[in-house]
Structures are given as C-alpha cells and as structure tokens.
A and B are shown apart, each in its own frame.
Chain A
Amino acid sequence: MSSTIPQPPTCNVELAERVLIGFLKSETQRIGMTKAVLGMSGGIDSALVLELAVRALGPENVLAIALPYRESDPLSLELAQQGASNAGCEFSVIDITPLADAYFEQHPELANGEMETARLRRGNVFSRLRMTALYDQSAAVNGLVFGTSNKTELLLGYGTQHGDMASAINPIGDLYKSQVVALSCHLGVPSAIIDRPPSADLWQGQTDEEELGFSYDAIDALLHAMVEQRLNRDALVALNFAPEFIDLISARVQRNQYKRRPPLIAKVTGRTINLDYRYARDWGS
C-alpha cells in the first residue's frame, strides 16, 4: 500500500500553449475560415479558450459573447467582460431571458427551478439556447464556434449534450481541469476568474464541486490514474483512493459515454457512417 497522496496531472504550459494555438490556427484556416465565436460564462474554461483563440487568430478575429439569463449571477457577466477585455477582443451580450421565458411560459412545470427535475431541465434549456445563439452568430461572422469543455467535464458527463458540449473544434477537451488552471495562470487569465469557484451558473448558488461532491483536484487525480495510467480498481484502492469514490466516478464516466459519441445509427448496409465508413474529418485538407 502506497502512502503517497495521488496528485492531479501536471502540465507543461509552454508546450500546451504551442500545441493548442497551432491546433486552433490549423483547424480553422484549413476550412477557409478566419474567425471564431465563443460563449463566455465568466468561468475559467471559456476565459482560457479565449486567450488561446486571440493568440491563434488575432483578437480582431474573435468574438466573445456572454449569454446571461435574468437569474444568472451578475458576477458572471462582469467576469466575462473582464476576460474579453483582457484578451482584447470584441465582446457582446445576448440576453437569453426572452427566449427562455417564452419557452417556460408554454411549460408551466418549468416556471421555476425549485424541483430538481425542473432545475435540470431549465439548465439544459439555457445551455441549448446559448448554443443556438452561438451557432447563429458564427454563421453571421462566418466563423467557428470554439468549444470550452475540458476533459474532466467530458469524462464526468458534466455538461449538456447539444448545449455547452457543442462546438466546431475544442482546444481544451484533452486537458484536465487542473491543467486548465495551470495553463490559465500561464496565459494571464485574470485572477478573479481563476480564483472563482467553478460553476455552471445554471441556478443561483450552484458550484461544480458541491454538485459533483468532490474537489476537482481529487477527481482529476483519480481520472488521471484511471484513464491515463489505466489502473484498475484494485490498483486505485492501493493508491489510497476511497472505494466509494472510485465506484461513483467510474459509474459516472461509463454512464455518460453516450454524450461523448455521435448518435447511434442502426446498421443495415455494408458501410455504416463512422462504423465501417471511416474517414478523418480533415479529409482533403
């Protein structure tokens, strides 16, 4: 039995910066685009992607959009603006309140988020309305929607399918949350954003770590051991991870695999898209 405390993954920030900026530049330009649109939540993930985006494409080619609902924490908007100002790019605000409320009026059970199911559904509606607006804006400026989901969230399924998980390309989907923090510090994301407790801000007072039940550092240490080091349950227990913690996170990762894959297609022909009709997305470029 090891007595060491498992640590979250480290990050060579200079290398990560270079690889991710090159990625954004290459994958945008190869399809003939020059611009990017991204949703700014006031949190660290979108602030980091914005910093990467302005370095890749130039601040004049990046549009940062905050999409508040009337119940959103005002600090979110303030920090979104601060992040955009720090990155030196254009910033705009699209209030999703009229869109969301128009829908909620037709579905009275969603009028407020007191019930947990209503709270969840409302959160998903917000997330998908934001996606709708971002994709529309991307068409308006002939740009790509840059994704802001990190690897920790994607593994946990802590995001809304076709909502905040939707994007054209995502530079941080292979970075754990702790690596996001390290790279954000390196790239000069404002400390007010870095230090703010992570929150989806889907209802008042929500924080990620409270909702997930564990700290990101603890989750990242476990996910890193499970995913990168391919350790099985016995090996994880030997590393002093609590069995209940392992089981809960493992189940969550497995349960949410569907969110990380395209929809299943019933196979009836000899060459089914993505099963045995297999081409890279960058085919021809």
Chain B
Amino acid sequence: MNCRLAICQTNPKLGVVADNLQSHHQWLDRCLEQKADFALFPELSLTGYILRDLTSDVALALDSPQISELVARSKDISIAFGFVEHSPDHRFYNSFVFAEDGVIKHVHRKVHLPDYGIFEEGRYFAAGNNFTTFESKHGRFGILICEDAWHLSSAWLHFLQGADALLVPVASPSRGIETDGDHLASQKSWHELCAAQAKFLQTWVVRCNRVGYEDGVLFDGESAINSPTGEVVAAAHHSEEDLVVYELTSSALKRARVETPLRRNAHANLVRRQLAIIANDPDLSGLIDDE
C-alpha cells in the first residue's frame, strides 16, 4: 500500500445534514490542496452524534442524492464518511461508506452498538453483522466504527483478512478528569487501544475522532495514526478541528511483519476449532454471544 491519507477532524452540526454535507465538500477541497489520496471523516460525520429521535429523520438511503453527491467527489479523492443509513426495509444503521473512483466500494454497518452509560445506540440503530476487509487502489482496509474497535475480535478479523490499515472513525464522548497527564481518561484508553492493535496486529491504525460539544459532552479530537509497530506517527490537536495528512506505506508493514511474524503464526483454524468446541459445550456456551 501507498496512500497519502488525510484525517478530517471535523465538528458536525447536530442533525443538520445539509450543512454537514457542505462542510464535507470544503474539507475535501482542503484535502485536495494538500494532495491527499484519501479523506477520512469521523463516525456519523454527516449527522452529529446525540441524535436520539432525529435518527430516522436524518437517515439517508445509499442511493440518496446527498450520498451520491459525496460519492461523485471520490473521482478525485477516495472518501470515507459516516451517516445514518436508511435501509430499504426501514432499518437504520450507524454506517460508514468508502467511495473511490465515483462508486461506493464498501459499506460497514457498525456491529457493536453501545447502550450503556451515556450511550443509546442500541435503542436507535440496527446492528451490522460482519467485519469485511476490502481492497482499494490505496491498499486493503478494514473499518471499525468506534465501539467496534473496543472488541478485540473485530480488529482480529480484519487482521486475518489481510488488512493493511484499520480505519477507525470515532465519536467518542470524552470523560475522566481523575487522571494524570495530558489526556482525559477515555482518550487515554483510545491511545492505548490503537497503539496495541497497531503493534500486535501489525497494521496501520488510523483513528479519526470528531471535536465539539453536544449537550455538554465533549468530543476531544486527538485523532492519530499508529504505525504497524504501534508508534504514533501523526496526531491531530485536541478539541479543535484539524487536518492531518500522512503517507501510509507498505515498507513499514513489511518491516514490522518481517521482524515479528505474528500474521504467519495466527493459527486462525485453531481459534475456529476452539470456538466450535466452546459453543457446543453446555458449560461454556452461555459465556459467549450465541446470536
């Protein structure tokens, strides 16, 4: 892979798709000025996050004029953005589109919908049911929308499918002031999580968080790119909109994987066999998700 990727750390307006769409165009213009190949936006970048009953109002079909308008821009630059997807059977998904060369190449529907603490996604959204890695002209990508990344199996599935980079769009409510250092506790967890996933899955991890406040809740930015050895190689500012451009390369992937061949030794079949055993064991099956 070789990709000059732009993180668009935006501050969406809550529930105002038209304004956010306009803003996406402006960000894409800036990305093109910076000669980026690929513009990555945060989770629900077209709608804002605390949607509640707005969810169905702001939802868009994949073939809606608004989505088509952004997809058309992907003739000039690959684009990945977030929105509420209105499915033909009237379900609503927290979705993320990857578009390239004027067509939608992949849609990821968020699988893990948090509904604890401050979160209400389980109340409003239908859940996706897969983590599927896809090929683009810039490399092989896997998408994890926010909470998806907190379940380690999600990233591991992309790892098994050969992802060069994990794209992690985020709208993370920041919290935790009883902490040392420069980051709110929740942000610190994100930094640790992405560093660990990059290092131990030997992939690029590109996390694009949003900024701004909604109903007193801060989204604190600090988007970052972790190299396949875990180091932060590019980082956006906290709390403010920011554009960060960085070149993802195959050579960095190769270096990490030659040094420690984790992918070669993943033993996925062993995991598959054991999962089947656990699922069939009456003493253990209750411990795993049996959807």
Binding site for B on A (CB under 8 A): 9-12, 14-16, 18-19, 22-23, 26-27, 169, 179, 277-285
Contact = CB atoms under 8 A, between A and B. Distances in A.
Contacts of A278: 52-53
B178 A11 contact: yes
B218 A284 contact: no
Nearest to A278: B52
B174 interface: yes
A283 B15 contact: yes
Interface stretch (B78-86, B208-216, B252-260, B264-272): B208-216
A9 B179 CA distance: 10
B54 to A, nearest CB: 6
9 contacts: A10-B178, A22-B213, A22-B239, A278-B52, A279-B53, A280-B52, A282-B214, A284-B13, A284-B14
- Which residue, B177, B213, B215, has most C-beta atoms of chain A within 10 A? B177
B234 interface: no
Contacts of A283: 14-15, 54
Interface string B196-213: 000000000000000011
A22 B220 CA distance: 10
Contacts of B184: 15, 19
Interface in B154-202: 174, 177-184
A280 B14 contact: yes
B14 A23 contact: no
Nearest to A224: B178
B214 A280 contact: yes
Given A19-B177, A278-B53, A284 B239 contact: no
Q: Lowest 8 CB-CB distances: which A-B pairs, in order? A: A278-B52, A280-B50, A26-B213, A280-B215, A278-B53, A16-B177, A10-B178, A12-B177
A282 B44 CA distance: 16
B179 A15 contact: yes
Given A22-B239, A280-B14, A282-B14, A11 B50 contact: no
Given A11-B177, A285-B14, A277 B216 contact: no
Contacts of B212: 26
Nearest to A175: B177
- Which residue, A16, A27, A280, has most C-beta atoms of chain B within 10 A? A280
A168 to B, nearest CB: 12
Nearest to A30: B213
A14 B213 CA distance: 18
Nearest to B51: A280
Contacts of B50: 280, 282
B239 to A, nearest CB: 6
B277 interface: no
For chain B, give the interface size range. Answer: 20 to 34
A31 to B, nearest CB: 12
A284 B17 CA distance: 10
B52 A279 contact: yes
A19 B220 CA distance: 9
Contacts of A23: 213, 216, 218
B53 A277 contact: yes
A267 B212 CA distance: 34
Contacts of B53: 277-279
Contact of B218 (A19, A279, A282, A285): A19
B16 interface: yes
Given A282-B214, A284-B15, 6 more contacts: A11-B177, A15-B182, A19-B174, A278-B52, A279-B52, A282-B213
Contacts of A16: 177
Nearest to B211: A22
A22 to B, nearest CB: 6
B177 A284 contact: no
A20 B241 CA distance: 18
Contacts of A281: 215
Given A22-B218, A284-B15, A12 B213 contact: no
A169 B140 CA distance: 46
Given A10-B178, A18-B239, A19-B218, A279 B54 contact: yes
B21 to A, nearest CB: 15
A49 to B, nearest CB: 14
Given A19-B218, A22-B213, A279-B54, A285 B178 contact: no
Contacts of B13: 284-285
A170 B36 CA distance: 41
Nearest to A182: B177
Contact of A179 (B15, B177, B181, B218): B177
Contacts of A282: 14, 50, 213-215
A282 B215 CA distance: 6
Given A18-B239, A278-B52, A283-B54, A12 B14 contact: no
A16 B181 CA distance: 12
Contacts of B218: 19, 22-23
Contacts of A26: 212-213
A110 B67 CA distance: 65
A277 B54 CA distance: 10
Given A19-B218, A279-B52, A279-B54, A284 B16 contact: yes
A40 B184 CA distance: 30
